[in-house]
Structure 1
Amino acid sequence: MTETAVETIQREMTAFARRARASAGRMHPELSLVSYTLLGHLEESGGLRATDLAAHYALDKSTVSRQVTTLERAGLVERRRDPEDHRVQLLHLTEAGRRILAQVSVRRRAAVQERLVDWAEEDLERFAAYLVRYNARSGAGTEDD
């Protein structure tokens, strides 16, 4: 593995992450990139505890708590009792949360498609496979991603 290739990959991934954070606010003023990510994971999971979100993204519980509080105040997330353990509260998307997540998802997908419009199908498939392979080996939310 050449250092030059690794340096280029790291530099380009950093640029990608910065662009994603910067564009999140333009997609929807209420959603930071972290908020968008949390909403997406809540939708996929069907409801989780805040501690589950923190563990999944390797974030501090206080960070997730602040994000969840902001999402609750915006009416995008609500707490419900866990039907299996009434001592536990699960976070769920509200209808407004689902609607906003869907809108942002459509915009983000369109932005990605626009950047890839002139790529050959085989390049797209290879790039997608490489991203899946890379992410399968990395720890979600760690600083060295």
Structure 2
Amino acid sequence: MQKITTFLWFDDQAEEAMNHYVSIFKNSKVLSVTRWPQGHASEGKVLVASFELDGVQFQALNGGPQYKFTEAMSLSIDCKTQDEVDHFWNKLTGGGGEPGRCSWLKDKFGVSWQVVPEQLPRLLQDPDRAKAGRVMSAMMQMGKIDIAAIEAAAKG
């Protein structure tokens, strides 16, 4: 059992978001859906949904419009290849999402994500600070990270 679970507050799109995310990540599944009980104004609609994305559990609540997602909290995806970066970037920005800068994006529900190839933090932490600086400069010009371009920047 996972000790800490990310809990996402949606207006009324919890089920749609859960199904969208489960369709994007391998090894993912819906765990449970709790619906409003009979007699409630929202009878039959989703109250809370639990799901797993690549082994990590999440919960989604239809809590109403009081709260919105901000970039102050994001979900980071570690990627091994450019194909993985492209897959997650395209799926999460598709259908109304917004590309951001330096690996960040917002999906169509307003949730902020970072799609990060494993090469990026390694190159940014390189002991050769000039190399790391070139990588940082290249990254600052990008939305979706281009692995070949950051590796070229590292080489000078």
Instruction: Tell me the TM-score normalized by structure 2.
Output: 0.25
Bigger-Rg structure (1/2): 2
Name the structure with the higher strand share.
2
Instruction: Tell me the TM-score normalized by structure 1.
Output: 0.26
Name the structure with the higher helix share.
1
